[in-house]
Amino acid sequence: MVDVKNFLIVVNSGADKPYNHYASYVVAFLAKQLEKIDTVTIYYGPLAIGMTKKGELAKLAITGETKELLASQIEGLSAPDLPDNLEQMARFEKDKLGVNIVSCGTFHVIDGAGKSIDDKSNIEDFVTPVRLPQAAEAILGADKTYYL
């Protein structure tokens, strides 16, 4: 058992590195389910903002073979229990496991994904844009940080 209460997963890559996105959600799942870490946050950094746009995570499918591979390694999990894509995985983790999914709102504006930091019209509803002080608090307040 690890002694971590606040775990931050920073994803700072785009669609060109899909394995980073898959890994972030698998690690978040394991942190909540196996290690029972209280606070788990996936933070989309400046280079990953494009992945928070509506429909982008849904493009990253979880194939039947991948489901079998993952389920074979986690006791009590079966392949049919797993979602078909990362958008479904993100929704499950946020709604059922309490994983926080946030992004840097400043870069939503710079990238054109939003007109203001709070504008969520072009990003997934399960992603919460945060302001710079909140982003710094998440980064500096984590017991353990994993960068992808």
For residue 1, is pLDDT > 80? Answer: no
For residue 146, is pLDDT > 70? Answer: yes
For residue 2, is pLDDT > 80? Answer: no
Determine the topology of domain 25-147 in CATH.
Answer: Hypothetical Protein Ychn; Chain: A, (3.40.1260)
pLDDT tens column, 79-131: 999 999 999 999 999 999 999 999 999 999 999 888 999 899 999 999 999 99
Q: Measuring CA to CA, which residue among 40, 44, 41, 42 is closest to residue 13?
A: 44
Say if pTM beats, i.e. exceeds, 0.85.
yes
pLDDT tens column, 52-71: 999 999 999 999 999 999 99
